[in-house]
Amino acid sequence: MQLTQSETTQKAEPANAQPKITGERGLRYGLRDGACQAITQGSGEQYLSAFALLLHASPFQLGVLSALPQLIGTGAQLISVKLLQWFPNRKTLISAGTVGQALAWLPIVLLPLLLPEWGPWLLVGGAATYFACAHFTTPAWNSLIVDWLDQHERGAYFARRAQIVASLSFVALCGAGWILSLWQDSTSVWWGFVLIFALAGSARLLSALALSSVQDLQPAAQLETQQGFRLFFRQQTTKDFRCFLLFSGLMHASVLIAGPFFVLYILQDLHLSYFPYGAWLAAGLLGQLLTLHAWGQLGDRFGNKALLSITGFMVPFLPMLYLVSTNLFFLLAVSFLGGVIWAGLALGLQNYVFDSVRPEDRAKAIALYSTVNAIGWSVGALTGSWLVEHLPSRIEWAGVILQPVSNLPFVFFLSGLLRLLVSACLRGTFHEARHVERIPRRQLLWELPLVKPVALLVNWIRPKPNH
The string of pLDDT tens digits covering residues 140-166 is 777 777 766 666 666 677 777 877 887
Check pLDDT > 50 for residue 2.
Answer: no
Q: The domain spanning residue 279 has which CATH number?
A: 1.20.1250.20
CB contact at 8 A, 311 and 449? no
Identify whether 202 is part of a domain. Answer: yes
Mean pLDDT of 385-401: 83
Hey, what amino acid is at 347? L
Check pLDDT > 60 for residue 14.
Answer: no
Distance CA 109, CA 19 (A): 42
CB contact at 8 A, 97 and 139? no
Identify whether 272 is part of a domain. Answer: yes
Task: State the pLDDT at residue 12.
Answer: 42
303: alpha, beta or left? (left if phi > 0; alpha if psi -120 to 50)? left
Hey, what amino acid is at 420? L
Identify whether 307 is part of a domain. Answer: yes
pLDDT digits (tens, 9 = 90+) for 55-110: 888 888 988 998 888 888 888 877 887 777 777 677 788 888 889 999 999 999 88
Check pLDDT > 70 for residue 236.
Answer: no
CB contact at 8 A, 283 and 343? no
Identify whether 8 is part of a domain. Answer: no
Query: What's this model's pTM, rounded to 2 decimal places?
Result: 0.75
Identify whether 11 is part of a domain. Answer: no
Tell me which range, 22-31, 273-282, 285-294, is most confidently predicted by mean pLDDT. 273-282
Number of folded domains in the chain? 1
Identify whether 466 is part of a domain. Answer: no
DSSP labels, 100-148: HHHHHHHHHHHHHHH-GGGHHHHHHHHHHHHHHHHHHHHHHHHHHHHTT
Identify whether 5 is part of a domain. Answer: no
Identify whether 380 is part of a domain. Answer: yes
DSSP category for residue 235? I
Q: Which domain holds residue 293?
A: 23-461
